[in-house]
């Protein structure tokens, strides 16, 4: 209901705004309602999916910030591309197309503003209701699922929700969305299987072959019967006219403008040559069907010269005899000559020629082109006219205008994607997807009995923006992923956006299905083309792009077969910084600073949570693995400098700490060697490393025996306690203990082989430190 109210308000606002600007309103602008429903519902699903990936333990402002940071980039890309694709249509020479594109472009702009303001506020209100465990319909406080296991199935299904504040991590209250998990756990592994990739690529090649076949057979033109309702009587009229009267379909007028002396034999010869040139074309019938007032009048005078005894050698005699003998009222030629106000000179005239054997719109277009070429070559100011020429002119301009708009639109879409996703490889994939989808829509619309005309041209322009939506979502999610292997990148991208793509595509198709019942060719074409672009776009986003990106995109070098080749470019000997810091996690020196226990283990490059703990959706910052080698070199140098600087500050901190706790008269080294090895050797985080550490600590124990029993000598003692395996998680946990007189911190460091990173599992503090704040 919120979405429907929102869309109706946007349409009403847009109509009022443009009426105040004196912009005409056309009937087929009613398509805006369906189009805005498609754009609006797609952005809604993306924002809701980003909200669903946030943790319920976070506050509503934090969840809103996380949601908008992930979904804002995606929503902005789709809205800006749709808006600009419509505004590109303003360059069309057809006024109807320009009016529709103006309405559509500003309506998309209003939809975007409405989503990031009003709809975001509605999500925040729903977030506060969710935080208070309020029912989504009745707004009554409900109990979580974990506390309602003894109730009936109906009660658990319709009257439970939220989480238990005393047990927020209960798995019964934090069930993962089954459909999102399906894309990650089932669909992604299927696409990562190499036989599936072969099938997808072969299917894509067949799709392109069918599109090319359809493009070669595409027909241009708009039949008159299609402009009427299917149940209108005019449809039968147009059908009978085309069946019985196509041999001599059009009576074409040839207009000669400008004051001329028609009594001059030279002028008479020019007009006669022009008439015969028209009659000699394949599109015009014989002179028998030509009505030329000049040819008839001059022939009548020459045939009856003895009887009439008149002269037409001068302009005055010519006009006088013309009016008296030929242009009398019952004669139909009286409508073919236009005199000046005084009636002394002819300022315009016309003649009628008959078209023949024009069977289709291509013949009509070729006929108009041939007749106008004759007019341009004539020394006279001549033109041809027929009421249907306005349609024939569209047939002449539709193809070049469509190609021009599609090329400009694709280039602009690439620029926009590069602005929001500054990765050249991503822009290339988006451009190829746009070309593929546009080719598919153009080819298969021809196979679906849709001609290339002004109506389908509007939809092709609209499809330029729609074709970017799904492909940009998947490309950006894949590029922003920090996973090392392409298989993991595919899983993350499909987990984040697989469900929104399916929801947006299915809801769009269901929304436009009702247009089939309208009984109008305009709405039927709109349904067919929107269905094609949404279906092809979803198939590209869900199947083709993940396969191509996993084969040729960033991270593809880390596949099992290619990883050995990539290792040749990696130096075997680690650098000094890498020796000092084999992994980016360091245990800081204990201090009395009132910091949170979760900060005792930090990462040099960010948070310690894994890639699967924090879902990387759109807008999530991450390392771009597709950067060039020069950028990687610069980044490694920068990391080395930062590590050296951190190492220097780390040693200075130990020196200051050692000088504080030193015994008077007895120098003390700034850091015990056994603790230094805890920091610098990742081997101590394994079982074997733990045993080595204990033996090393026992050997150095006598060296530090005197200081160990001193009250100020215990500040830097570290000891390895034990190592244990966590069942079912493929992890190994290690406990390190840092003791001093004021603080005792026990940190359980868990190494997860699946996530390939160190996680802080548990930390405890002494009562003395807690008492002193």
Burial of residue 732, with CB atoms counted within 10 A of its CB: 0-12 exposed, 13-18 middle, 19 or more buried: middle
Given this model, what pLDDT does residue 149 score? 72
d(CA 715, CA 590): 8
Q: Average pLDDT of the chain?
A: 72
Which whole number is the average pLDDT over 556-560?
56
Residue in this structure with the two tokens 């499909």, named with its chain if needed: 494
Which whole number is the average pLDDT over 331-354?
90
**Residue 116 DSSP one-character state:** I
Q: Is the confidence at residue 751, as pLDDT, over 90?
A: no
Given this model, what pLDDT does residue 587 score? 41
Q: Do the beta carbons of residue 737 and residue 746 sit within 8 Å? A: yes
Most confident of 142-151, 165-174, 333-342, 655-664: 333-342
Given this model, what pLDDT does residue 635 score? 64
Which long-range contacts (C-beta less than 8 Å, at least 24 apart) are formed by 11-17?
11/36, 11/107, 13/110, 14/103, 14/106, 14/107, 14/110, 17/106
89-103, 278-292, 340-354: the lowest-pLDDT one? 89-103
Given this model, what pLDDT does residue 605 score? 38
pLDDT in tens, 675-698: 444 444 444 444 444 445 444 445
d(CA 626, CA 429): 13
Which whole number is the average pLDDT over 297-321?
87
Q: Do the beta carbons of residue 494 and residue 549 sit within 8 Å? A: no
> pLDDT band at residue 562, thresholds of 50, 70 and 90?
low
- Sign for the CA dihedral angle at 438, 441, 446, 451 comes to negative
The number of residues making up the chain comes to: 773
Helix ranges (DSSP H) in 116-166: 120-131, 153-158
Q: Do the beta carbons of residue 535 and residue 505 sit within 8 Å? A: yes
Q: Is the confidence at residue 486, as pLDDT, over 80?
A: yes
Given this model, what pLDDT does residue 37 score? 62
For 384, 415, 533, 718, the CA distances from 438, given in Å and listed in that order, are: 37, 18, 8, 65
d(CA 278, CA 285): 9
Given this model, what pLDDT does residue 650 score? 57
Given this model, what pLDDT does residue 371 score? 94
Most confident of 86-100, 157-171, 557-571, 642-656: 86-100
Q: Do the beta carbons of residue 290 and residue 336 sit within 8 Å? A: no
pLDDT in tens, 353-388: 999 988 777 888 889 999 999 999 999 999 999 998
Nearest to 10 by CA among 112, 122, 107: 107
Which whole number is the average pLDDT over 453-473?
80
Give the tokens for residue 165. 């504040």
Which whole number is the average pLDDT over 283-288?
91
Which whole number is the average pLDDT over 494-516?
84
Q: Is the confidence at residue 40, as pLDDT, over 80?
A: no
d(CA 597, CA 762): 9
pLDDT in tens, 509-521: 887 887 788 778 8
pLDDT in tens, 407-429: 888 788 878 878 877 777 777 88
pLDDT in tens, 622-632: 444 444 444 55
Given this model, what pLDDT does residue 206 score? 95
Which whole number is the average pLDDT over 591-604?
39
> pLDDT band at residue 556, thresholds of 50, 70 and 90?
low
Most confident of 18-27, 183-192, 449-458: 183-192
Given this model, what pLDDT does residue 30 score? 62
> Quick check: helix, strand or coil at residue 757?
strand
Given this model, what pLDDT does residue 23 score? 64
Given this model, what pLDDT does residue 41 score? 74
Nearest to 38 by CA among 546, 541, 545, 538: 538
Given this model, what pLDDT does residue 356 score? 92
Start-end of CATH 1.20.1640.10 domains in the chain: 2-131+179-220+394-558
Given this model, what pLDDT does residue 66 score? 87
Which whole number is the average pLDDT over 537-555?
86
pLDDT in tens, 98-149: 877 777 777 788 888 888 888 888 889 888 888 887 777 777 777 777 777 7
Which whole number is the average pLDDT over 229-241?
86
Higher model confidence: residue 640 or residue 245?
245
Q: What percent of the chain has pLDDT over 90?
A: 17
Residue in this structure with the two tokens 């409405």, named with its chain if needed: 114
Given this model, what pLDDT does residue 465 score? 76
Nearest to 112 by CA among 76, 66, 67: 76
Residue in this structure with the two tokens 């030193």, named with its chain if needed: 662
Given this model, what pLDDT does residue 115 score? 82
Q: Do the beta carbons of residue 584 and residue 603 sit within 8 Å? A: yes
Residue 585 backbone phi and psi in degrees, to 5: -105, 130
pLDDT in tens, 253-281: 999 999 999 999 999 999 999 999 999 99
CATH superfamily of 2-131+179-220+394-558: Multidrug efflux transporter AcrB transmembrane domain (1.20.1640.10)
Within 13 Å and on the Cβ side, how many CA atoms surround 656? 9
Burial of residue 70, with CB atoms counted within 10 A of its CB: 0-12 exposed, 13-18 middle, 19 or more buried: buried
pLDDT in tens, 44-60: 888 888 888 888 878 88
Residue 181 backbone phi and psi in degrees, to 5: -65, -30
Given this model, what pLDDT does residue 47 score? 85
Per-residue HEC secondary structure of 393-416 comes to HHHHHHHHHHHHHHHHHHHHHHHH
d(CA 40, CA 9): 12
Higher model confidence: residue 734 or residue 194?
194
For 41, 576, 657, the CA distances from 531, given in Å and listed in that order, are: 15, 59, 70
CA dihedral 452, 456, 461, 467 (to 10 degrees): -100
Given this model, what pLDDT does residue 578 score? 41
Q: Do the beta carbons of residue 500 and residue 473 sit within 8 Å? A: yes
Q: Is the confidence at residue 773, as pLDDT, over 50?
A: no
**Residue 483 DSSP one-character state:** -
Q: Is the confidence at residue 7, as pLDDT, over 70?
A: no
Higher model confidence: residue 345 or residue 687?
345
Q: Is the confidence at residue 314, as pLDDT, over 60?
A: yes
Q: Is the confidence at residue 609, as pLDDT, over 50?
A: no
68 contacts: CB under 8 Å, gap ≥ 6: 50, 116, 120, 619
Burial string for 420-447 (b: 16+ CB within 10 Å, else e) reads bbebebbbebbbbbbebbbbbbbbbbbe
Burial of residue 59, with CB atoms counted within 10 A of its CB: 0-12 exposed, 13-18 middle, 19 or more buried: exposed
Nearest to 261 by CA among 204, 317, 180: 317
Nearest to 79 by CA among 50, 118, 38: 38
Higher model confidence: residue 614 or residue 17?
17
Given this model, what pLDDT does residue 613 score? 39
260-264, 723-727, 750-754: the lowest-pLDDT one? 723-727
387 contacts: CB under 8 Å, gap ≥ 6: none
């Amino acid at each position: 209901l919120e979405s429907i109210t929102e869309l109706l308000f946007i349409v009403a606002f847009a109509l009022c705004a443009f009426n105040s600007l004196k912009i005409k309103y056309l009937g087929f602008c009613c398509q805006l309602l369906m189009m805005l429903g498609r754009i609006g519902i797609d952005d809604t699903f993306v924002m809701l999916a980003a909200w669903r990936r946030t943790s319920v333990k976070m506050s509503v402002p934090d969840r809103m910030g996380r949601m908008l940071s992930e979904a804002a980039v995606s929503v902005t890309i789709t809205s800006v591309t749709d808006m600009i694709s419509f505004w590109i249509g303003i360059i069309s020479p057809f006024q109807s197309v320009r009016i529709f594109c103006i309405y559509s472009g500003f309506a998309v702009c209003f939809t975007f503003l409405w989503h990031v303001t009003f709809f975001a506020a509605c999500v925040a209100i729903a977030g506060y209701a969710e935080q208070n465990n309020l029912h989504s319909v009745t707004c009554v406080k409900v109990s979580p699922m974990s506390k309602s296991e003894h109730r009936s199935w109906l009660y658990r299904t319709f009257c439970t929700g939220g989480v238990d504040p005393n047990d927020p991590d209960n798995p019964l209250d934090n069930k993962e969305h089954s459909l999102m998990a399906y894309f990650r756990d089932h669909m992604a592994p299927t696409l990562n299987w190499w036989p599936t990739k072969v099938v997808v690529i072969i299917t894509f090649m067949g799709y392109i072959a069918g599109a090319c076949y359809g493009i070669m057979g595409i027909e241009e033109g708009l039949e008159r019967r299609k402009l009427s309702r299917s149940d209108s009587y005019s449809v039968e009229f147009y059908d009978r006219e085309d069946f019985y009267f196509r041999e001599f379909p059009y009576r074409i007028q040839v207009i000669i403008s400008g004051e001329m002396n028609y009594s001059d034999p030279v002028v008479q010869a020019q007009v006669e040559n022009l008439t015969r040139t028209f009659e000699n074309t394949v599109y015009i019938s014989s002179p028998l069907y030509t009505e030329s007032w000049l040819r008839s009048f001059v022939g009548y005078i020459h045939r009856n010269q003895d009887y009439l005894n008149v002269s037409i050698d001068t302009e005055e005699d010519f006009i006088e005899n013309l009016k008296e003998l030929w242009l009398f009222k019952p004669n139909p030629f009286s409508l073919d000559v236009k005199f000046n106000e005084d009636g002394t000179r002819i300022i315009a005239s016309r003649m009628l020629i008959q078209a023949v054997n024009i069977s289709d719109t291509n013949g009509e277009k070729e006929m108009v082109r041939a007749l106008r070429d004759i007019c341009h070559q004539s020394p006279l100011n001549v033109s041809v006219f027929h009421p249907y020429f306005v349609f024939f002119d569209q047939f002449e301009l539709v193809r070049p205008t469509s190609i021009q708009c599609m090329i400009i639109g694709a280039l602009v879409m690439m620029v926009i994607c590069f602005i929001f996703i500054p990765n050249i490889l991503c822009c290339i994939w988006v451009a190829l997807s746009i070309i593929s989808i546009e080719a598919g829509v153009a080819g298969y619309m021809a196979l679906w009995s849709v001609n290339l005309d002004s109506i389908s041209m509007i939809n092709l322009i609209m499809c330029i923006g729609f074709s970017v939506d799904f492909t940009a979502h998947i490309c950006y999610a894949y590029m922003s992923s920090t996973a090392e292997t392409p298989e993991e990148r595919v899983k993350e991208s499909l987990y984040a956006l697989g469900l929104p793509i399916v929801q947006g595509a299915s809801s769009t198709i269901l929304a436009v299905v009702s247009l089939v019942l309208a009984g109008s060719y305009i709405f039927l074409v709109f349904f067919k083309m929107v269905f094609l672009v949404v279906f092809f776009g979803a198939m590209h986003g869900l199947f083709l792009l993940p396969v191509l990106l996993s084969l040729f995109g960033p991270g593809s070098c880390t596949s099992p077969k290619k990883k050995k080749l990539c290792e040749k470019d990696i130096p075997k000997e680690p650098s000094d910084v890498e020796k000092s810091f084999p992994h980016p996690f360091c245990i800081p020196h204990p201090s009395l600073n009132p910091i949170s226990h979760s900060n005792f283990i930090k990462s040099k490059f960010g948070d310690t949570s894994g890639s699967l703990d924090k879902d990387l959706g759109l807008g999530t910052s991450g390392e771009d693995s597709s950067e060039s080698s020069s950028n990687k070199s610069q980044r490694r140098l920068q990391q080395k400098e930062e590590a050296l600087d951190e190492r220097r500050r780390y040693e200075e901190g130990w020196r200051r700490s050692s000088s504080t706790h030193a015994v008077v008269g007895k120098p003390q080294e700034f850091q015990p060697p056994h603790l230094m090895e805890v920091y610098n050797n990742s081997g101590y985080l394994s079982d074997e490393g733990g045993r080595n550490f204990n033996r090393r600590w026992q050997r150095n124990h006598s060296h530090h025996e005197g200081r160990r029993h001193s009250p100020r000598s215990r500040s830097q003692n570290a000891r390895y306690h034990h190592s244990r395996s966590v069942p079912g998680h493929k992890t190994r946990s290690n406990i390190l203990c840092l003791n001093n007189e004021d603080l005792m911190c026990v940190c359980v460091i868990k190494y997860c082989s699946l996530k390939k990173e160190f996680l802080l599992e548990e930390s405890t503090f002494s009562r003395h430190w807690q008492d002193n704040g």
